[in-house]
Amino acid sequence: MNFASIFSFNRLLALSVLALAGFSAVSARAQTYTKLYTWPEDTRNDTGIGLAGLMSQGRDGDLYGTVGDDNSNAAGSAFKMTTSGAFSRIYSFCSLAKCADGSQPWGGLTLGKDGNFYGTTMWGGSLSSGTVFKLTPAGGLTTVWNFDNGPDGAAPWYPPLQSLVDGDFYGVSNTQYGGDYGAFYKLVPTATPPYKESVPIDFNYTDGNDPNLPTQGTDGNYYGSTFSGGSKGLGLVYKATAAGVETIFHSFTGYANNQDGANPIGAMVEGNDGAYYGVTWLGGSSNLGTIFKVTSNGTYTLLHSFTGRPDGAYPRSALILGSDGSLYGTTLNGGTANDGTIYKVTASGQVTILYNFCSQTGCADGFSPVIPLLQHTNGKFYGSTSGNSLGGSYFYRLDTGLAPFVKMVNWIGNVGNTVELLGQGFTGTTGVSFNGVPATFNNSSDTYMTATVPAGALTGTLTVTTFAGSMVSNRAFLVLPRISSFTPSGTVGSKVTITGISLTQTTRVTIGGKLAAFTVISDTELIATVPPNAVTGKKITVATAGGSASSPSTFAVVPLVKTFSPTAGPVGTPITVKGYSFTGATVITVGGVAATSYSVISDNEVDALVPTDAATGPIGVTTPGGTGFSSANFTVTH
């Protein structure tokens, strides 16, 4: 089943009768649901705002998103919504001749580090295969890429995400007219569009089909799923590097009575435990969808199978991570009225029902939510239904009592980097700290400010202190280490001085590709010991709580000659030399004369014959890492 068939399937699902099951979900109390805005019937086309539409909070504190097929051209629009429900359309698509600006922006918007929003249109553009666009908060649109139905595909559904590591944009297209299965693409921003594009992954069905938007993990890799494809055709979960090296973690197999899942939908989200969480549209014990998690090493766990009542059915929208560390999502159907739910789930799979739709007389609260929730920095959740009793749909707010918090636009960086912060009450800021280390800041407005990562910053929660109190970030800021200099060579057991920035929280050091013992001297210096079996030509790496860094050049492991036997003998005598780092040895010398017959037995042993003209002197072993000599002499006898 592809995305298009899901759309036509929705109305049938809304009429389905879900089987009662023996599952008992935890019910939540003291949740306040508020309708904020009514979408007119002609804007929803049975679906409300964009079916997978992501909303984003802007620097001004308002919410931005897209409607897939409203306006006079039925081509869609971009909108701004205040937290009190004041709606304004900021751009209507297909405003240019031949829809050169694109049509059908179903995926929603993501916020870039420049304060602008980025999205996609499924159709239109100069090549009629969809676009990637940049949109200012005031509604100024620039097309940055036109899909050509080539290797990059066509009909992109999701908006791209901006990498926090390299600043490039990563996204997926869902199909190609030629019959391919979608692509994972990369766009490099340029001063003048179009951006530069590459296609790290061209899916081939076996490795996925109809890809969902991947999410960038704290390790810099991308974790995603595909709606279909894989070994059973029911979708899969994968990890991909920025260069496009794909590792398949799990292929789904599960329909009714199979504890697995089928057809994952929406982006996965990284939890505070470092695992990635997602939902499947179908499958599980009742074939009504599941919640699952996968670790960064590929371990898959089914957390929950939806049963219809009371917990919901057919989760259409992705999970999001709340400021309390729990995960939040919605279901299209199920619940007490079979019209959808809002739920919370813990990392262990405990589901709590926060709200049942159509629980008000005449379904006055709407039914069948379809887009992912967005938690505003005021602590409240916002979303949209796909229908209401009046033929339209509702934009709503759910207040669960969570406190206001700070959202970091970029949550990873080095000392000296600028971090963008979204929130409220920033005009009263008196201090910003990174896990307790004070930082300089610039409160540009009441809802947007920047801070500079200070020297000595520690990975952890960012705190904004105001005259009225303090607010913490909803996730940790990761302080990346940096290596600036190091002892360029050494023997096994020798000490290597490494200098840099943000070394206090070092957890691991590798030298020559092997783990090394180390001592942290200060935030700018540590001492490590060259480990046995270290290999020349590898960079030194330092891993901390915030990430890892590699040395600017490689480390040379010099051979260390410890012993040799016999200690004396005439020309032609076999000598066994023991020590470290002998792999790749190219020259063995006795008293400065190269042996013409030798063999590298292992990294710790070389054997050689005393050469003609050899003189009494040390034994030398030369490798690409340098030359090491014995401390004692070999005596040549006659």
Task: Let me know if the fold of 407-478 is the same as that of 482-557.
Answer: yes
- In terms of C-beta density within 10 A (0-12 exposed, 13-18 middle, 19 or more buried), how is residue 45 classed? middle
What's the CA gap between 113 and 356, in Å, rounded?
36
Q: What pLDDT shows up at residue 227? A: 95
Question: Are the beta carbons of 279 and 315 closer than 8 angstroms?
Answer: yes
**Model confidence at 122: pLDDT above 90:** yes
Mean pLDDT of the chain: 90
**Model confidence at 15: pLDDT above 70:** no
Q: What pLDDT shows up at residue 255? A: 73
- Please give the biggest Cα pair distance in the chain: 110
**Model confidence at 27: pLDDT above 80:** no
What mean pLDDT comes out for the span 624-636?
A: 97
pLDDT tens digits, residue range 509-531?
999 999 999 999 999 999 999 99
**Model confidence at 26: pLDDT above 60:** no
DSSP assignment letter at 348? T
Residue 225 tokens read as 């799923």
**236 pLDDT band (50/70/90 cuts)?**
very high
Q: What percent of the chain has pLDDT over 70?
A: 91
pTM for the predicted model, two decimal places: 0.88
Q: Which residue has the tokens 């081509």?
A: 75
**104 pLDDT band (50/70/90 cuts)?**
very high
CATH number, domain 407-478, options 3.30.470.20, 1.10.3080.10, 2.60.40.10, 3.20.20.80: 2.60.40.10
**309 pLDDT band (50/70/90 cuts)?**
confident
Long-range contacts of 294-300 (CB under 8 A, 24+ apart): 294/223, 294/237, 294/249, 294/250, 294/268, 296/217, 296/219, 296/221, 296/223, 296/239, 298/239, 298/247, 298/249, 298/250, 300/237, 300/249, 300/250
Query: Which CATH superfamily hosts domain 560-636?
Result: Immunoglobulins (2.60.40.10)
**Model confidence at 25: pLDDT above 90:** no
**257 pLDDT band (50/70/90 cuts)?**
low
pLDDT tens digits, residue range 453-475?
999 999 999 999 999 999 999 99
What mean pLDDT comes out for the span 318-334?
A: 96
List the single range of 2-11, 56-65, 226-235, 611-620 with lowest mean pLDDT. 2-11
Q: What pLDDT shows up at residue 18? A: 35
**51 pLDDT band (50/70/90 cuts)?**
very low
Q: What pLDDT shows up at residue 45? A: 42
Q: What pLDDT shows up at residue 389? A: 61
What's the CA gap between 311 and 284, in Å, rounded?
13
**53 pLDDT band (50/70/90 cuts)?**
confident
Using alpha carbons only, what angle is made at residue 97 by residues 92 and 101, rounded to the nearest 5 degrees?
45
Q: What pLDDT shows up at residue 3? A: 40
The topology under which CATH files domain 482-557 is Immunoglobulin-like (2.60.40)
What mean pLDDT comes out for the span 474-500?
A: 96
Q: What pLDDT shows up at residue 174? A: 80
**Model confidence at 28: pLDDT above 70:** no
What's the CA gap between 347 and 353, in Å, rounded?
15
Q: What pLDDT shows up at residue 362? A: 83
Q: What pLDDT shows up at residue 165? A: 85
pLDDT tens digits, residue range 142-169?
999 999 888 888 889 899 999 988 899 9
What mean pLDDT comes out for the span 176-193?
A: 83
**Amino acid residing at 316:** R
What's the CA gap between 91 and 112, in Å, rounded?
18
Domain ranges of the chain: 407-478, 482-557, 560-636
List the single range of 202-206, 254-258, 307-311 with lowest mean pLDDT. 254-258
**Model confidence at 613: pLDDT above 80:** yes
Q: What pLDDT shows up at residue 392? A: 67
E strands of 517-616, at which residues? 518-522, 525-529, 538-544, 547-557, 560-565, 568-569, 574-580, 587-590, 593-594, 598-602, 605-609
DSSP assignment letter at 400? -
Q: What pLDDT shows up at residue 149? A: 84
